[in-house]
Amino acid sequence: MNIRDNLPKYAVLAFLALGTGLFVWRSLAPGDAPDARVAVTVPDELSPVAMEGKAVFDENCADCHGANAAGTEQGPPLVHDIYNPGHHANMAFVLAASQGVRAHHWRFGNMPPQPGVTQTEVEKVVQYVRELQQANGITYRPHNM
Lowest average pLDDT, out of 26-40, 49-63, 72-86, 107-121, goes to 26-40
**d(C-alpha 107, C-alpha 92), whole Å:** 18
Residue range 8-27: average pLDDT? Answer: 67
DSSP state of 35: -
The per-residue pLDDT for range 118-131, each reduced to its tens digit, is 999 999 999 999 99
**d(C-alpha 75, C-alpha 109), whole Å:** 8
Cβ neighbours around 117 below 10 Å, total: 19
Residue range 109-123: average pLDDT? Answer: 97
Question: Is the confidence at residue 31, as pLDDT, over 50?
Answer: no
**d(C-alpha 26, C-alpha 20), whole Å:** 10
Under 8 Å between Cβ of 98 and 113: yes
Residue range 56-60: average pLDDT? Answer: 99
Question: Is the confidence at residue 109, as pLDDT, over 80?
Answer: yes
Boundaries of every domain in the chain = 1-30, 48-135
pLDDT score of 19: 67
More confident residue, 9 or 96: 96
Name beta bridge partners: 7.
Answer: none
| Confidence band of 29 (pLDDT split at 50, 70, 90) | low
pLDDT score of 7: 75
CATH number, span 48-135: 1.10.760.10
Cα first-last separation, the chain: 44
